[in-house]
Amino acid sequence: MSEEFSSATDFTLKKFLIFRPGAKECLDIKKLVVDFEYAESIVNPFVIGSATIVDSAGLIGSLPIKGGERVVVTTMTNATGEPIEYDMILWKVANRFAQQKTQTYTIGLISPEALQNEITRVNTVMEGNPEAIIKKLISEKEYIGSGKEFFSEPSLLETKLIPTKTRPFDIAAQLAVKSVSPKAKFESTDSDSTSTTAQEIRGSGGFLFWETRRGYNFFAVDSLCADEKSPLKSDRLKVEAWGSGKNKEYTERLGNIGDGADDRFTIKKSVFESEVDMLSSLRLGKYSSLIAFFNHSTGQYEEYVYKIKDSYDNMAHLGGQNSLSLIPVKDVELSDYPSRMMSIYLDHETWSNDWEPASPETKDGSDKPTKFADWQKYYMAQSIARYKLLSNQKCSIVIPGNAQICAGDKITVRLVSKLPDEEAKDEPWDLESSGQYLIQEVTHTYDTTTGSNGVFLTTLRLMRDSYGQKDKVSKHNQ
């Protein structure tokens, strides 16, 4: 623990600088800041923040604050040992009220790229690997023009599209759903146009695009869930070590800490959201979907069934299950019957002018298939099921502030068993809810008004696709 702080939640607000638009001079208003909050999410392409200001200096009128000002916040915390800097843009002033000559209001902060995205429209043909397209949209000056690092892995399939004046982040979101990891296994049975039985289709899909303090990220869901031993892991996933040189385990403790444990890694509060939502899962096609494909260029009609249980073992998982256990209803597994029907138009000829068939499928016998084929058979049902599977178990925990933790990192938690003392004496830990989780969202809250050094807390919203721990058999798997 740092000599400067006596508690795991202590911090110092070093600077809170506001720059006038287009000017180099700035004002440090750290003495006016009551609290500062910063948040990241794996479903958000930009970071956000807010601060509560108690203004007795007439800052809002004398600066004046008009929106678009650059704000640089520097903090020193117990967990990092070095300053943490947040560089954002002021986009909003809200909740302002005055009493005598003092005004209190909230300022909203956001990534500069988020505002640039709102005024940028893409209207040129984009082609290639989704990773390359997104990197181009983020880094090139004619689009977002960001200088931040871009961490990613390539997608298996190439694509071509006309954005029709679409915002860059919207294009990235569209491409994420359509992307498939090159390490994922895809299988489909040979189609028989005379068959009245739907064919089978397997595989995994779905990427996520988001921003953190480290930069931009574009990775497959399977890569985020994979451990070091998994063939699905990506060496390009950027995760900084936090906590004594490596990821530490956060532990829930009841009562006072009396065993000499490091209180920086104590869970102060844990809340679980709804973990079982059968109706929503069925309607979204989590367990099984029937997809009808119609190729309007050839007139071919095909039906495929996708069952999550057939592809489950080829995915990376955070929990301890080796195979998927679906909840039976009247002794019938839900994945045996498609609960969602989808109709999809296919057209491999859109970007092909060759006399040969453009279809890449072997059964169509083309010698020169297009690399910009319509790949919906590879990702549509797979992505829907994989995204839904990732939220099987969701939990929020509050821990002593740790600014090094980012959205997309993995964390191991150990939670106390909530069984009566007599039943929990043999096993004091909740083995089903403890284990490794993916950090869906992280919120760092700096409160300057509490104590001599303030209070810094981090709230983590966690998610994972399976219960239990990797080295133990889950009861959900029985």
pLDDT for residue 147 is more than 70? yes
Lowest mean pLDDT, pick from 118-127, 152-161, 334-343 = 334-343
Supply the pLDDT for residue 179: 94
252 and 103 share one domain: no
pLDDT tens across 384-434, in order?
999 999 988 899 999 999 999 999 999 999 988 877 766 667 777 888 889
Supply the pLDDT for residue 233: 85
Q: Rounded to the nearest 10 degrees, what angle do helices 130-139 and 168-178 cross at?
A: 160
Lowest mean pLDDT, pick from 28-37, 223-232, 243-252, 368-377 = 243-252
Q: Which of 112, 145, 174 is the last residue of a domain?
A: 112
Q: Which of 87, 112, 137 is the last residue of a domain?
A: 112
Supply the pLDDT for residue 345: 92
Helix (H, G, I), strand (E, B), or coil: what is residue 186? coil
Supply the pLDDT for residue 1: 45
pLDDT tens across 302-337, in order?
999 999 888 888 888 888 766 555 555 555 577 788
Q: Which of 65, 85, 112 is the last residue of a domain?
A: 112
What one-character-per-residue DSSP string does 30-73 give?
GGGEEEEEEEEETT-SS-EEEEEEEESS-HHHHTT--S--EEEE
405 and 259 share one domain: yes
Is residue 216 within 8 Å of 112, Cβ to Cβ? no
In a domain, 32, yes or no: yes
pLDDT tens across 264-304, in order?
889 999 998 867 788 888 898 888 999 999 988 888 899 99
In a domain, 128, yes or no: no
Supply the pLDDT for residue 438: 95
Supply the pLDDT for residue 257: 47
pLDDT for residue 217 is more than 70? yes
In a domain, 149, yes or no: no
Number of domains in the chain: 2
Burial class (CB in 10 A: 0-12, 13-18, 19+), 471: exposed
> Which two three-digit tokens encode residue 345?
């138009």
pLDDT tens across 351-395, in order?
888 888 888 888 788 888 888 989 999 999 999 999 999 988 899
> Which two three-digit tokens encode residue 426?
């043999």
In a domain, 134, yes or no: no
User: Can you say whether the dihedral through the CA atoms of 186, 187, 190, 193 is positive or negative?
Assistant: negative
The CATH number of whichever domain residue 44 belongs to comes to 2.40.10.10
> Which two three-digit tokens encode residue 172?
């990235």
106 and 243 share one domain: no
In a domain, 88, yes or no: yes
Supply the pLDDT for residue 245: 43
pLDDT tens across 223-241, in order?
999 888 888 888 888 777 6
Instruction: Identify the bridge partners of residue 463 per DSSP, sorted by sequence position.
Output: 394, 438
Burial class (CB in 10 A: 0-12, 13-18, 19+), 193: exposed
Answer with the residue of higher pLDDT: 5 or 265. Answer: 265
Is residue 364 within 8 Å of 300, Cβ to Cβ? no
Give the residue-averaged pLDDT of 4-31. Answer: 87
Lowest mean pLDDT, pick from 139-148, 224-233, 432-441 = 224-233
252 and 107 share one domain: no
In a domain, 465, yes or no: yes
Which residue do the tokens 């988020």 mark?
Answer: 114
Structural domain span for residue 50:
11-112
Supply the pLDDT for residue 324: 57
pLDDT tens across 48-107, in order?
999 999 988 788 777 888 899 999 999 998 777 789 999 999 999 999 998 888 899 999
Supply the pLDDT for residue 326: 55
405 and 262 share one domain: yes
What one-character-per-residue DSSP string does 297-313 give?
TTTEEEEEEEEHHHHGG
Give the residue-averaged pLDDT of 12-20. Answer: 93
The CATH number of whichever domain residue 422 belongs to comes to 2.40.30
**Alpha-carbon distances of 180 from 21, 104, 218, 381, 409, rounded to whole Å:** 42, 48, 12, 12, 21
Burial class (CB in 10 A: 0-12, 13-18, 19+), 202: buried
Answer with the residue of higher pLDDT: 477 or 387. Answer: 387
108 and 243 share one domain: no
Supply the pLDDT for residue 87: 96
Work out the percent of the chain whose per-residue pLDDT is above 70. 89
Supply the pLDDT for residue 399: 94
In a domain, 121, yes or no: no
pLDDT for residue 24 is more than 90? no
Split at pLDDT 50, 70, 90, the class of 243 is low
263 and 410 share one domain: yes
Is residue 275 within 8 Å of 394, Cβ to Cβ? yes
In a domain, 337, yes or no: no
pLDDT tens across 168-200, in order?
999 999 999 999 988 887 777 655 544 456 788
Split at pLDDT 50, 70, 90, the class of 437 is very high
